[in-house]
Structure formats: C-alpha cells, structure tokens
Amino acid sequence: MHISEEQLKQVNTQIQRLIKADNFYGKKLKEAGISGVSSEEDFLKLPFSQKQDLRDAYPLGLMATDEKDIVRIHSSSGTTGTPVIIPYTQKDVDDWGKMFKRCYEFAGITNEDRIHITPGYGLWTAGIGFQNGCEMLGAMAVPMGPGNTDKQLQMMMDLKSTVLCATSSYALLLAEEIEKRGIADKIHLKKGVIGSERWGEKMRKRIKNELGIELYDIYGLTEIYGPGIGINCKYETGMHIWDDYIYLEIIDPETGEIVPDGEWGEIVLTTLVKEGAPLIRYRTHDISRILPGECPCGSKHPRIDVIAGRSDDMVKIKGVNVFPKQIEEVLALFPELSSEYQIHISHLDGKDTMRIYVETNGSVDFLEMAKKVALKVKSKIGFTPLVKVVELGVLPRSEKKSKRVFDERYE
Ligand code: ZN
C-alpha cells in the first residue's frame, strides 16, 4: 500500500500543526530536522511515536491546538504506569462520530435499530464512542454501561434491543445467561458490534450461535480517537480501516521497515485530520496484516486481518517473524489436540530451532500426530519445527493468561 497525494498533503498539514504547537512531537520533528513532507520517501523518514512518548507528555503535553478549542479529554486506562491523556476538539469528536457512524452502516445498522451499549462510560473512549456514532446515525441508544446482568437482560427484553455492543467476553457472558435463563425467545438481537480485544474463532462461534446474531469486529484505540476507526463488512474479510482519517502501515516490529501487503507485522497509524492531538506513525504494538486485493463489498478502504496479538509476543526465527496466533491456527485444524501448547525457541548446534509441545488424549499415534502438525506448521510459516506430543493435562494451566512462548536463545 502506498500513501496517496491527498494523504501526503494531510500529513504535511499535521506536521505544520505539530511544529507550530511545539508539543512533544513537534519538538521531535524539529530535532530530526523535518519541516514537512512532499513525497512517500519523506514520509518514510518520519520518526515513529510510541506510548512512552505519550506518557512523557502527561498531562496535557500532547495538545496541539489552543486550549479554548479543546472540548474534552480521554485517557487510556494506565494499568501500567502513567496514563495517557488525549485532548479532543469539537471537530475531533465529530470526526470520530462520523467514523463510528460509518462502522454501524457497514454492519447494516440503521436509524431503526435500538443499540444496547455495554462498554463503560467515563475517562476511556469505549461507551461514549459507541454512543456518539449511534446518535449520529439516528438510532436509539440504550446507554447501559457494563455490569448488572439482571438489568441488562431486562432492558434488552423490554426495549427489544436489536444491536449489542460489548467486549467479546461480556457478549459471551450475556449469551450464556440468556441460554441459562431460557429467555432466548424474548431477545430481539440481530447484530453484535464487538470491541477489538483478541478473541478466538471458537469464542466467536459460540457467541454467534448462542445469540443467533451476526458479529462485527470493531477496531480502535484511545490514542487514535478510540474504537470505531475500522470494522469488518458482512463479507467478513477483515476490518476496513477509514483511510480518509487515518493512514495505515504495517511494519516489521524489529527493523521498523514496511512489510509487503499480506505479511504480518505491527500496525502503525497516522492521523490525517486530527486537531487536538495529531499522532504521526504511532506504533500500536497490535499485530495484523494488510489484506491485499479488493473486498467483495466494493469498498476501497483497506482491510486488516484480525488482531493476532501484541508485538511483544512475536519471536523471530530463521529470519521469519512468528506469532503465537499462527501456531494456534495450525493446532485448531486438529480436533484431536487440546487448545494448550508451548513454543520453545532455542539455539542448538549453531542454529535456531523451534519445539512445539501439544497435548492429545491417548487415542492417537503420538509420532504420526507430531509429523502431521510439523508439516502443517512448515506449510504455514516456512520451516519445520520439532513437534512433541504429550498427554492431556501435562502442560501447565493457569487462570490468567498462560505463558506459551519461551525464547531460550538468550538465557
Ligand atoms: Zn468489505
């Protein structure tokens, strides 16, 4: 994918704004001797920005406009360290709403829908983003926020909500409650708009089947407006990203080089028209890839695949970037295997090797199974791992996220 003339012009305007504001990124640009961009080559020389830069700018150092133009701030949760504060002008709020409205439209949601919004309202961008887009669309918002399952279900039944907005885990919880209480016939949901936390195909199918709804994955992050900068269409061929507001790149997280379309890497985003806090080449640490070609829906907005994890989970072996998600996809092809696995990367006899431990019950030939898995991994990633099949229950389980990738090369 290449940056268009129009996008270049927009980036150039953002750069002028930042330099004039002399905020953290403006200073960074000046230090790098950058005064503008007029070609793709120029663009690719722009330094990346990182979450840490945003933390360093706490509380209002990101502001790139006169304070009288700021109408609102949002903040990322800040579970690790200083939070990040993003200031918004009225135009930013409106643009975000327009993007979110487009998300609903791509999901076939109209002003006749009743949208049940369960993400939280507050400093973070979740609930209010869903709300803004809903009002701009002219649909009826039911601003529930999270929690209180009894009330959620009561309102859902009484108001005949047709769209559920939720995280995947909360959607699953509600689906299970609906089943448990035997109230499925009183629920009128047709569609679910689900926040972009990482979720597996199995979970997706369960929500879909138990609620009998179409599911749409929405993408976004607080640093770049919030949720609503992209969504999949009904063809489910990845999430379209609104490239009239955001320029999208996928880079190799180690080298910072752009990877060819279709290859996995880290999502890097540049805001094109933001006023309050423009960000240039912001590294999201989310792993995905650009899906080449055109979507059957005819939209020209570029598409990214599902978020495959965080760049911190990535390992590089024999020059190839490997993500746990790719291994999971292979394992999912074998119903004989459990969902538990471990990947160990080590350096033996002068070369890097990958060992994959998988679990199965006693009913299959362990050696045969190992061969089959190794072949599939080879066809997916390009090299053959050593696969070790172990009995069910051998790999450690943890209630929290289990550690699955062990890079032993540098220990
Ligand atoms: Zn499409």
Q: Are residues 139 and 271 both part of a single domain?
A: yes
Q: What is the CATH number of the domain that holds 322?
A: 3.30.300.30
Between β-strands 265-271 and 191-194, what pairing exists: parallel, antiparallel or unpaired? unpaired
Asked whether 109 and 163 are in contact (CB, 8 A), the reply is yes
Q: Are residues 267 and 365 both part of a single domain?
A: no
CA–centroid distance, residue 236 to ligand 1 (Å): 7
Domain assignment present for residue 130? The answer is yes
Write out the two tokens for 382. Answer: 């390009």
CA distance 311 to 316: 11
Asked whether 219 and 231 are in contact (CB, 8 A), the reply is yes
Q: Are residues 290 and 340 both part of a single domain?
A: no
What is the structure's pLDDT at 242? 98
Q: How far is CA 310 from the centre of its chain?
A: 9
Q: Are residues 264 and 121 both part of a single domain?
A: yes
What is the structure's pLDDT at 111? 98
Cα-only R_g, the chain: 23
Between β-strands 114-117 and 239-241, what pairing exists: parallel, antiparallel or unpaired? unpaired
What is the structure's pLDDT at 410? 66
Q: Are residues 177 and 263 both part of a single domain?
A: yes
Distances in whole angstroms, Cα of residue 81 to Cα of each of 51, 54, 220, 309: 11, 12, 21, 21
Q: Are residues 297 and 238 both part of a single domain?
A: yes
Instruction: For residue 158, give the 3-state DSSP assignment.
Output: helix
Amino acid letter, 40: E
Final residue before a domain boundary, out of 270, 293, 310: 310
Amino acid letter, 104: Y
Between β-strands 114-117 and 303-304, what pairing exists: parallel, antiparallel or unpaired? unpaired
Q: Are residues 160 and 289 both part of a single domain?
A: yes
Final residue before a domain boundary, out of 291, 310, 329: 310
Domain assignment present for residue 319? The answer is yes
pTM: 0.85
Asked whether 329 and 198 are in contact (CB, 8 A), the reply is no
Amino acid letter, 307: I
Domain assignment present for residue 375? The answer is yes
What is the structure's pLDDT at 80? 61
Domain assignment present for residue 73? The answer is no
Domain assignment present for residue 370? The answer is yes
Q: Are residues 208 and 154 both part of a single domain?
A: yes
CA–centroid distance, residue 108 to ligand 1 (Å): 12
CA–centroid distance, residue 232 to ligand 1 (Å): 6
CA–centroid distance, residue 250 to ligand 1 (Å): 19
Final residue before a domain boundary, out of 310, 336, 354: 310
CA–centroid distance, residue 215 to ligand 1 (Å): 14
Domain count, the chain: 2
Helices (H), 22-162: 24-31, 40-44, 51-56, 90-106, 126-137, 149-158
CA–centroid distance, residue 409 to ligand 1 (Å): 42
**Domain range holding 331?**
315-410
Of 59, 50, 115, 62, nearest to 92 by C-alpha is: 62
Q: Are residues 266 and 156 both part of a single domain?
A: yes
Q: What is the CATH number of the domain that holds 210?
A: 3.40.50.12780
Domain assignment present for residue 200? The answer is yes
Could you say which residues of the chain have pLDDT below 50? Answer: none
Q: Are residues 214 and 327 both part of a single domain?
A: no
Between β-strands 140-143 and 163-166, what pairing exists: parallel, antiparallel or unpaired? unpaired
> What's the farthest any 2 CA atoms get from each other in the chain?
70
